Amino acid sequence: MKHHDDQVDQDMRRQYEQALAQEPQRRETFTTDSGLPLEAVYTPASLEEQGFDFQQDLGYPGFYPFTRGISPAMYRRDFWIMGQYSGFGSAEEANERYRMLLAQGQTGFSIALDLPTQMGYDADHPLVEGEVGKVGVHLGSLADVERLFEGIDLEEVRQIRTTANAIGPIFLAFCVAAFEKQGVDPSNVRIFIQNDVLKEYISRGTYIFPPRPSLKLSTDVIEYCARYLPKWVPLAMSGYHIRDSGSTASQELAFTFANALAYIESALARGLGIDDFAPQLFTFLSASIDFLEEVAKFRAARRFWARLMRTRFGAQNPESMKLRILAYTLGGNLVAQQPLNNIVRVTVEALAAVLGGVQTIATSSFDEAYCLPSPEAVTVALRTQQIIAHEIGVTNLVDALGGSYALEHLTTRIEREVGEIIERVEAMGGAVACIEQGFFQQELLNAAYRRQKAIESRDKVIVGLNMYQDEHEKVNIPLFKVDPESERRQVQRLRELRATRDAEAVARTLSAVEAAARRDENIIPATIEAVKAYATLGEICDALRRVYGSHEPSTAI
C-alpha cells in the first residue's frame, strides 16, 4: 500500500513541477534572507530526503529534543517576559523610564549601559567626553546603582537584564552590594548578566582586556553564580550582535554556540559539573524579518543545544538541555525612511519570536534610526508584544507551525549548517583562536558585503529605502534627546564621591582585586568589597588593566 502511495505522490509531484514550469515567476531562484534555497512547495518526501524522524527530530513540546518548546504548555501557562532595552543619562532618568514601563505592563527590563560604562571608564576620563549617558545609563559606582533601583520592587520584576560584558564581574558586584545595602537578599532578585565578552571581539567592540583573560573573567561570573547565586543568569550567549553585523541565520547560531563551547569548557575546568550551571544559561538571539527562516532558527537552536548538552557533555538534568532564548527584534532592519513602517517590521519580527517559542522578547522602537526611543515609541513597541499576546490567537496553541513541511525542512537545514560551521571553528582551534586569527570578523565582513550588494541591486527590497520611496517625505516624529547637562552632573557627583569616601578602604580593596587577578583567583569576592567601599568602575578596571593589559584589535583585515 505504501509503495502505491509513494508512486501516486511521485506522479502528482511530476505533474505539479510541469505545471509550475509553464507559469512565469518573478525570479529564477528564491532564497531566504540568509540565502538558503527555497523550493516552491514542500511535501512529506522533502522531509524523508533529509532523514527527518518525528520522534527524534520533533516530538512534543517540553520533551527532548525541545524543538517545539521547553515546556508542555508554553504560552498557555505564562506569556514570555516582556521587556524593553532602555536606559539613558543618569541613574535617576533611567529609573524614571523603568518605572514608567513597569506601570505600563512590562514584566522585565534591560539596562542599556552607555559606552563609557561598558568599556570600563569613569565619567571624567578624557576619552569619554560627550559620550556619558548617550546610548545608555552611566553606572560608575555603587551610588549610581543605588539610584538606578530606587523605588522598584526588585523581587517582583520577572527579569532584570544588562549589557555588561567586559565588566560582567563588576556589574555582579554592583548588584550584590546594592541589594544587600537595601536589605534585599540578592538570591531573590532575578538578575540576567549578558557576560558574553567573546562576541565583543567578533561584532560589537566593547572589550577591555585581551580575549583569554576576558574569558577568565566571564568564567568567574559563571562559577560565582553557580556556587552562590543559582537563580541568576550568569551568561547570555549572544548572537544578536553577530546577526546585526551581517551574518546569516546559521552563522548567528554557529558563532554563538562556538563561543558557548569556550565558556563551558572553561567552567568545567574550574571543577563545575555541566548540570551545575547549564540550567541557568540563556542565549540572546535576533528576531529578524524573514519570518519562516526566523521561526526555524529558534527551533533549530533548541534542538542543536539539547543534543550538544546530552551527547557531548553528558548532561543528566533535562533543564541543562533546555535552551532559554531572549529575542530582540533586529535593529539593523529599521530604516530612517518612512519610519512608521518600522512598526510593521517589528511586529513581524516579534511574531516570529513568539511562534519560535522564546522566553523573553524586547521590541525595537520605530524611531531608533533617529534617536534614543521616545516614551511614545517605547510604548508602541511594548503594546506590539501585548497585542500579539492577547489579540491574535497564536498563544492559544503550542508550536502552532510545527509539522509544516517547509518549516521542518528549514529547521533541519539550519541545524545541519550550524554543526558544519562549528566543526570548521573547532578544526581551527576553537572560538578564542578564531577571534585571534580574525576568522569570525572576516566571515561577517563577507556576509555584510553580500547583503549590502543585494540591497543596492534591489535583489533585496526594503520598502521606502530602495523601492517605493517618497521623494516628498517629511518626517514628523518627536525626537527624544538626552539632557546635555546630565554628563556635567554625573562628573560632579563622581568628584563629590571621591572627596567623601574612605580613601584608605578604597586603596586597600583595589589592591585586593589586583592581587586576586595576579593569583588567577576568582576576582568577584574582592570586587564586591571594593564596590562596597565605593571604588569606581574605572578604578577597578584600571587595577585589572595593570594585570591583563588592554586589547589591541588586529589591523590585518
Domains, the chain, in order of start with CATH, read 72-456 (3.20.20.240)
Contacts of 463 (CB under 8 A, 6+ apart): 338, 341
With cell 568564567, the residue in question is: 219
- Local structure of 330: helix, strand or coil: coil
Contacts of 61 (CB under 8 A, 6+ apart): 68, 69, 70, 71, 72, 73, 74, 357, 398, 399
Contacts of 491 (CB under 8 A, 6+ apart): 123, 124, 132
pTM for the structure as a whole: 0.94
Helices (H), 323-404: 341-355, 375-390
Burial code (b: 16+ CB inside 10 Å, e: under 16) for 531-546 equals bbbbbbbbbbbbbbbe
Burial code (b: 16+ CB inside 10 Å, e: under 16) for 115-140 equals bbbbbbbbbbbeebeebbbbebbbbb
Separation of alpha carbons 101 and 385, rounded Å: 13
Per-residue pLDDT tens listing for the chain (557 residues) = 455 566 767 888 889 989 999 999 998 899 999 999 999 999 999 999 999 999 999 999 999 999 999 999 999 999 999 977 767 778 888 888 888 888 888 887 788 899 999 999 999 999 999 999 888 899 999 999 999 999 888 888 888 888 899 999 999 999 999 999 989 999 999 999 999 999 999 998 999 999 999 999 999 999 999 999 999 999 999 999 999 999 999 999 999 999 999 999 999 999 999 999 999 999 999 999 999 999 999 999 999 999 999 999 999 999 999 999 999 999 999 999 999 999 999 999 999 999 999 999 999 999 988 887 888 998 999 999 999 999 999 999 999 999 999 999 999 999 999 999 999 999 999 999 999 999 999 999 999 999 999 999 999 999 999 999 998 888 887 777 778 888 999 999 999 999 999 999 999 999 999 999 999 999 999 999 999 999 999 999 999 999 999 998 864 44
pLDDT at 279: 98
Give me the amino acid identity at 384.
T
pLDDT at 556: 45
Peptide bond into 65 cis (omega under 30): yes
Closest listed residue to residue 247, CA positions, set 185, 199, 215: 199
Return phi, psi of residue 326, to 5°. -100, 125
Q: What are the E-state strand segments in 153-307?
A: 159-162, 191-193, 236-238, 282-287
Separation of alpha carbons 315 and 480, rounded Å: 48
Surface-to-core class of residue 54, CB atoms within 10 Å of its CB (0-12 exposed, 13-18 middle, 19+ buried): exposed
- Answer whether 160's CB lies under 8 Å from 190's CB: yes
C-alpha cell at 432: 578564542
The strands making up 324-329's β-sheet, listed across from edge to edge, are 191-193, 159-162, 108-111, 81-86, 360-362, 324-329, 282-287, 236-238
pLDDT at 10: 81
Query: Mind giving me the DSSP string for 181-207?
Result: HTT--GGGS-EEE----HHIIIII---
Closest listed residue to residue 398, CA positions, set 61, 6, 34: 61
Separation of alpha carbons 193 and 168, rounded Å: 7
Separation of alpha carbons 506 and 208, rounded Å: 22
Give me the amino acid identity at 170.
I
β partners of residue 282: 236, 324
With cell 501557562, the residue in question is: 77
Helices (H) and strands (E) in the chain, counts: 22, 8
Secondary element (H or E) of residue 219: helix 211-228
With cell 539539547, the residue in question is: 306
Looking only at the bridges linking them, the beta strands covering 282-287 and 324-329 are parallel
Separation of alpha carbons 128 and 131, rounded Å: 5
In degrees to the nearest 10, what's the CA dihedral of 310, 316, 319, 320?
A: -50
